[in-house]
Chain A
Amino acid sequence: MFEYKYLKKFIEAGPSGDFASLRKALEYGRDNCLNELEKSGLVGRGGAGFSTAAKWKFAWNSPNVVLICNGDEGEPGSFKDRYLLENGSFLLLEGLLISAFMLNSSEVYLYVRDEYKEALESFRKCLDDNMDLIVWYCEQIDPEFELKVISGGGAYVCGDETSLINSLEGKRPHSRIKPPFPAEKGLSGLPTIVNNVETLSNLPLIIRDGGAKFSSLGVEGSRGSKLICLSGKVDKPGLYEIEMGKVTLEEIVFGFGGGCSGKNLKFVIPGGTSTGALSLQELQVAVDYDSLRAAGTSLGTGAVIVADESVDALDVACNAADFFMSETCGICFPCKEGNRQIDYLLKLTRQGKGEERYLELIQDVAVTASCSARCGLGQSCGNLVSSLIEKFRSDFLKHVGEARHD
């Protein structure tokens, strides 16, 4: 089994100290850099998979662009941003400087979830170590340049870009109504570009190797490599890197992960708790955005969670439902009331007070939320639970009418 190391290779080699990609970017000029970015086919690694170049173009000619790097990694099962922050701070720093240069942005934020103490420490140390470089950047390129490292407020919903912006403004973190999109009107009303840590960490490599090299990796719609966070009931959980579209989910679980200690695999959640689960029979799917979408789920953040036969689907559903209910921002009705309803019905079922019709009700809520909720959190909150009901109905039914004491 072959792990493709692109980002990881760079990180494992350690900081070179010369920041060659940044120097190259400055030489190229911003328009050429954008050209390379476009050629690379890089899409956002936070979950939505939106083209980075397309997003940047919305604000390309705007003055006073704010750049925010989203390190709020709240998706259960995801730890790739943490890895990048802790081990690849220099790569991210270079990516931030290149992006700031390209976007003409003097105001840059790195928003890191509060629980990531080591990550924050590591990035701050990297800043100290490279203060010369930042001073040089300020002197040569942008005397107004400011990079602020912000420790997040600790809400899952801050992973949503507009909620994150509200949080940065010191407001209650809830999503904003789009339009206007952040690229038009974001932080303090300024055009704002929000990108995931992993997305921006790819920038130095794209500039160094050229967009064409980057896009030679992966498949159409999913170019480059992707960090995969493998966890759950596998022998070798950990962070792996794959070339997108070239590896199946089965290969990840059994190849990298080494299977489930001889137990039968039950299902795999491919992209974190907001994505639908796939059963053993469905694992032949290639890991890239389009293939997983076609399989009715999503690559999400690349958090692959494995469940073996000892896992009860209802327990997982209860856990996920409780999480989403607790983490709703509380503003939009389908998400707030929908998650409350799902959680309540599942808890009743677990207590043996359930009814079969509850399963249909839960799926109704999931569909309602997916087409009417305000932000990504709300729209995806029912995916996992709904897929579990569909694929492991008996796990739910066996609790109906049977009291359980736990």
Chain B
Amino acid sequence: MIKLKINDQSVEVAEGTSVFKAAESIGCKIPALCYHRDLSVYGGCRLCIVEIKGRSGFPISCATPVEQGMEVLTHTPEICETRKNIFDLILAYYPFECRLKCYSCASSNICELRELAEEMGIKKLKFEPVPRVGKIDDSSLAVKFDSSRCINCGRCVRVCREVQHVGILSPGRRGPATQVTTFMDKGMGNVDCTGCGQCLMVCPVGAIQEVSNIDKVCAAIADPQKHVVVQVAPSVRFTIGEEFGSRPGENLEKQMVTALRQMGFNQIFDTVFTADLTIMEESAEFIKRFTEKSKLPLISSCCPGWINFAEDHLPELKDNLSTCKSPQQMFGALLKSYYAEKNELDPKDIVSVSVMPCTAKKIECMRPEMMQNDTYDVDYVLTTRELAEMIQSRALNLPDLSKSEYDAPFGITTGAGVLFGVSGGVMEAALRTAYELITGEELPQIDFDDVRGLAGIKSAEIDIKGTKIKVAVANGLENAWQLLKHAADYHFIEIMACVGGCIGGGGQPVSRDYDILKKTQGRDLRG
């Protein structure tokens, strides 16, 4: 252990800890913009500078390891002045409409510039605003990137490369024109972007956001010719409350259904229904492949970020992917066929909307094979955030709403599907089903704890009446990449593109609470 003093207070931390984290451990928050706990140290923003006795200049605390007997000062007048100047310089080259006019900014609730301005006591800006021309990259169906808002902190670059093993973003051009961009400025829609949206989750200023479908959905609702049906993914009910100040993990399913009804959706269904179908089909597929010893391991296919990644980076595993559609697409297909027929509706008059914790779903629903009779099975995907925004723009406070139930007949579920929301959930549900299908008995202990939880890669061996099945689960694409180097060792693999599974999806509320995943995970997701 290393003993040091921060602002005259004694601190003891493990060797190798950064001064930044040591300060954090005693509740001393040092301002920072490029730093992110889950990513490598970047050392660009220089806001986390500190004074260390005996050292010249102001070292950055995020990159300085603690040393025995070190004496650190984090908020001397000189440091605060320097920080304010750096911060002011950032805003000098920020869109004119910003300058901390947060009341007129849609991203102010997630903007770290606003938070920092408060923390650092910025009262006024002194530097001259420098004109800036940016452009909006709207080539992707999932996310759009407004370069004029980008401060080039490199968080998106690092999350894409380090956590997701994708690496489509990097700083381009040189000198003052340095700008995070894609290869040859092709745009995120024209490179191997998986659409996972993790970049926007770490963006401190909201320069990357999802492609919004709110206007289109509202227009469809307002159109009397249209029959607007919405399906809501399992994990949304546990996270949407965060946008309304609720405790992370609180289940607001029934209030959410009320809100959707008030907004004018004709029918409101639970995606859990088709999640169950996916599981039934996937376990049947698994039993078949396992018995025939072909195309193993079976790899789950319900995560579109993962499918995009597999197509771009691991085409050799194409035959191993499950042939099942994702729950969203199964639901869409049912709506535009079975449901349309039952209710005597023209599929073209049905507008099929889904609410997903995911930005990649926006790409999935537009895949050409996801169409029938010239109409997409799912027309519009809204993220959890977009739904929250729609509810807020109706001035509805979700936690205060009365409770109501999903519509029938799709409202009947088994409970297995709700596990979809967590990493390892699909696997667990499919294994339970497979066990029943193979043995004809109900699995005595429901939970496969070995494969559930937040660790990036988990594996387990399941004994189904003497038959050993090796399974593995990975969430986060870098973890998936590592696991799939050993794909042949397993019979069944579940991959989720986002760390923590759909709970950590790119469409979820942008949380600044780093422990949010654990908090949400701790809840009983089986509802």
Contacts and interface: CB of A to CB of B under 8 A. Distances in A.
Contacts of A327: 175
B86 to A, nearest CB: 5
A177 B178 contact: no
A336 interface: yes
Interface in B42-94: 42-47, 49, 57-58, 60, 63-65, 78, 82, 85-86, 89-90, 92-93
A179 B41 CA distance: 12
Interface stretch (B123-131, B204-212, B397-405): B123-131
A329 B89 CA distance: 17
A172 interface: yes
Interface in B142-185: 151-152, 154, 170-171, 173-178
B176 A336 contact: yes
Contacts of B93: 337, 340-341
B46 A334 contact: yes
A368 B126 CA distance: 14
A49 to B, nearest CB: 14
A252 to B, nearest CB: 29
A344 interface: yes
Contacts of B60: 177
A368 B85 contact: yes
Interface in B258-285: none
Nearest to B45: A333
Interface string A290-330: 00000000000000000000000000000000000111111
Nearest to B46: A372
A333 B42 CA distance: 12
A177 B154 CA distance: 15
A341 B86 contact: no
A327 B177 CA distance: 10
Max chain A C-beta neighbours (<10 A), residue from B58, B85, B171: B85
A337 B175 contact: no
B65 A379 contact: no
Given A358-B128, A372-B58, A334 B89 contact: yes
Contacts of B130: 340-341, 344
Contacts, number: 112
A348 B171 contact: no
Contacts of A372: 46, 49, 57-58, 82, 86
A364 interface: yes
Contact of B89 (A172, A338, A367): A338
Given A336-B176, A341-B89, A379 B127 contact: no
A339 interface: yes
B62 to A, nearest CB: 9
A20 interface: no
A155 interface: yes
Contact of A330 (B45, B49, B82, B174): B174
A365 interface: yes
A336 B178 contact: yes
B176 A332 contact: no
Interface in B172-201: 173-178
A364 B125 CA distance: 13
A150 interface: no
A403 interface: no
Max chain B C-beta neighbours (<10 A), residue from A332, A333, A361: A333
Given A326-B176, A328-B175, A341-B127, A374 B46 contact: yes
Contacts of A361: 126-128
Contacts of A345: 128
Interface string A152-196: 000100000000000000001000010100000000000000000
Contacts of B152: 330-331, 336
The A interface, classified by DSSP as helix, strand, loop or mixed, is helix
B8 to A, nearest CB: 22
A203 interface: no
A404 B398 CA distance: 61
Contacts of A48: none
B176 A172 contact: no
A197 interface: no
Contacts of A179: 63-65
Contacts of B41: 177
Interface string B93-132: 1000000000000000000000000000000001110100
B175 to A, nearest CB: 5
A205 interface: no
Contact of A337 (B65, B90, B170): B90
Contact of B178 (A331, A334, A338, A358): A331
Interface in A173-229: 177, 179
Given A368-B82, A368-B86, A373-B46, A340 B176 contact: yes
B156 to A, nearest CB: 15
A317 B45 CA distance: 26
B175 A330 contact: yes
A379 B89 contact: no
B89 A333 contact: yes
Given A336-B178, A372-B46, A364 B85 contact: yes
A371 interface: yes
Interface string A70-95: 00000000000000000000000000
Contacts of A373: 46
Contacts of B64: 179
A139 B231 CA distance: 76
Nearest to B131: A344
Nearest to A348: B128
Contacts of B58: 371-372
Given A341-B127, A344-B130, A358-B128, A330 B85 contact: no
Nearest to B130: A344
B47 to A, nearest CB: 8
Nearest to A335: B46
23 contacts: A177-B63, A179-B63, A328-B178, A330-B152, A330-B171, A330-B173, A330-B176, A331-B178, A332-B45, A333-B89, A333-B90, A337-B89, A337-B92, A341-B92, A341-B93, A344-B130, A361-B127, A367-B85, A368-B86, A371-B49, A371-B58, A372-B58, A374-B46
Given A327-B175, A337-B90, A340-B93, 18 more contacts: A172-B171, A329-B178, A331-B42, A331-B154, A332-B44, A332-B46, A333-B45, A333-B90, A333-B151, A334-B85, A336-B175, A337-B86, A344-B128, A344-B130, A348-B128, A368-B89, A371-B49, A372-B82
Question: Which 6 residue pairs of A and B lie closest in terms of their CB atoms, listed nearest first?
Answer: A330-B178, A337-B89, A368-B85, A177-B43, A372-B46, A177-B63
